Amino acid sequence: METIHYISSEILSLEILKDIITQDKKLALSEEARVNIEKCRTYLDEKMKEHSEPIYGINTGFGSLYNVKISNDNLSKLQENLVKSHACGTGEEVPLAIVKIMLLLKIQSLSYGNSGVQLQTVERLIEFYNNDILPIVYTQGSLGASGDLAPLAHLSLPLLGEGEVYADGFRQPANKVLSKMSWEPVVLKSKEGLALLNGTQFMAAYGVHILIKSIKLSYLSDVIGAVSLEGFDGRIEPFNELIHLIRPHKGQIVTAKRMNEILEGSEIIAQHKKHVQDPYSFRCIPQVHGASKDAIDYVKKVFRTEINSVTDNPNIFIDSDEIISGGNFHGQPLALALDFLAIALAELGSISERRTYQLISGLRGLPPFLVSNPGLNSGFMIPQYTAASIVSQNKQLATPASVDSIVSSNGQEDHVSMGANAATKALKVIDNLERILAIELMNASQAIEFRRPLKSSEFIESFIKSYREEVPLVEEDRILHYDIENTIAFIQHLELDESVFE
């Protein structure tokens, strides 16, 4: 049965967004949203009939051309020219899953009745979303203020019958798709082009996508870390709640509690230990994983605010009878949050690789490189090299983008956020983290076999059993590239309890 999400002023949370995306829900405007959009457009039309003074972006040029007055006869052409001229994106194509989130967030932002768009324009964006007609958008071109101009121009081109879209399984000209659907191009009215292009939906869509994946990989970092701990014959004491209650960072407490739950009933963790202490990469899992959890929670709050905001310019306030030009398109809150998120994710990868290194080092009764007959077999020697190279790349990608700014538009736009670069970098970081965790899981699941006949917890044994259906035990050298790829696929296809995302 087809399910529908109604666009309204009710708070759109990350959990609701995840549900819309994973359940492939269709969108529709609530009556409230419909009324807000129509009232604002009517107000603007009436305002322009009686108002001869320049209002930025409505009857003026854009950027440093703000002082060029445009006649009422050319207001529609002005908006069309804006969309076309700003479609200067280049580089790789934005993943289609993120383009679809961009559409959703743009629809949400335009629905509050502060942007002055036509109802027809928003409804066409909804038709694009519901029919999986996804504009081709490029990763490079946005400074993160005045919003994501170039990417959002490419997102908007198909409204005019311009640009390209991905539809029916392949890339094709937008005008052909409109013709097939018997849709006429939208004729933009005053301010509409600016409403479509000003906004943070490129940065925000990346953030939503990365956050959903971050929460999953943060949880799996704990699970895979616990498997590594068992393979390394580690100690349980560092997860005792008494330690964490005297340094009560939320993420630290949550991580320690989760580790205890994952390890409950394990014969391996309960056996007598010859060693008094574990290396930091095991002993400090609550402190390191927990800090990343707290960072993710902070970023969630920033994006929760952003996806429920109006980020175009100028903004229309009917009740106050004002049209105000400001700076809600500036992506600084997102740029800082995305940089913080990239650092937090890079650290999860960094500590994961250190656990992998410990496992292959021939310590605590484990054979060198986790394989029988080492020498003839190289075993898991080189996957650690791969993980190390990816960790190093993540360190480079975690260099903040938000500390940079380059002047644009003849000095009128003299400070920008670079949030779009922060977003695209953060996506690479989390995709890299997924690969690093996959390599740790390969090593950890191999190491735990050398603890037999002792068993781990019921949870871990069940987890490893599922994994072994996809990636068998390594008994002699084979091409491990395929094992890495199959482990990544295993991680991607894991379905987690919804409580993990709360």
Rg (alpha carbons) of the chain, rounded to whole number: 26
What are the structure tokens assigned to 461, written together? 């044994």
Question: In degrees rounded to 5, what are phi and psi of residue 139?
Answer: -75, -25
The distance from CA 68 to its chain's CA centroid, rounded to whole angstroms, is 39
Do residues 90 and 140 lie in contact, with contact meaning Cβ atoms separated by under 8 Å? yes
The amino acid at 239: F
Partner residues linked to 4 by β-bridges: 26
Give the Cβ contact number of residue 73 at 10 Å.
7
Element spanning 4, H or E: strand 4-7
Give alpha helix (H) positions in 398-457.
419-448
49 burial type by CB count under 10 A (0-12 exposed, 13-18 middle, 19+ buried)? exposed
Give the Cβ contact number of residue 53 at 10 Å.
6
CA distance 239 to 241: 6
Do residues 447 and 464 lie in contact, with contact meaning Cβ atoms separated by under 8 Å? no
Closest C-alpha to 398, from 250, 251, 295: 295
Partner residues linked to 324 by β-bridges: 315
What are the structure tokens assigned to 154, written together? 């490419």
Partner residues linked to 374 by β-bridges: 377
The amino acid at 366: L
CA distance 313 to 327: 7
Assess whether 43 carries a catalytic annotation: no
CA distance 71 to 54: 10
Partner residues linked to 408 by β-bridges: 413
Beta pairing, strands 4-7 & 26-29: parallel
Catalytic residue among 56, 112, 166, 219: 56
CA distance 486 to 473: 13
299 burial type by CB count under 10 A (0-12 exposed, 13-18 middle, 19+ buried)? buried
The distance from CA 451 to its chain's CA centroid, rounded to whole angstroms, is 38
Q: DSSP string covering 375-401, please?
A: TTB-TTHHHHHHHHHHHHHHHHHTS-S
Catalytic residue numbers, as ranges: 56
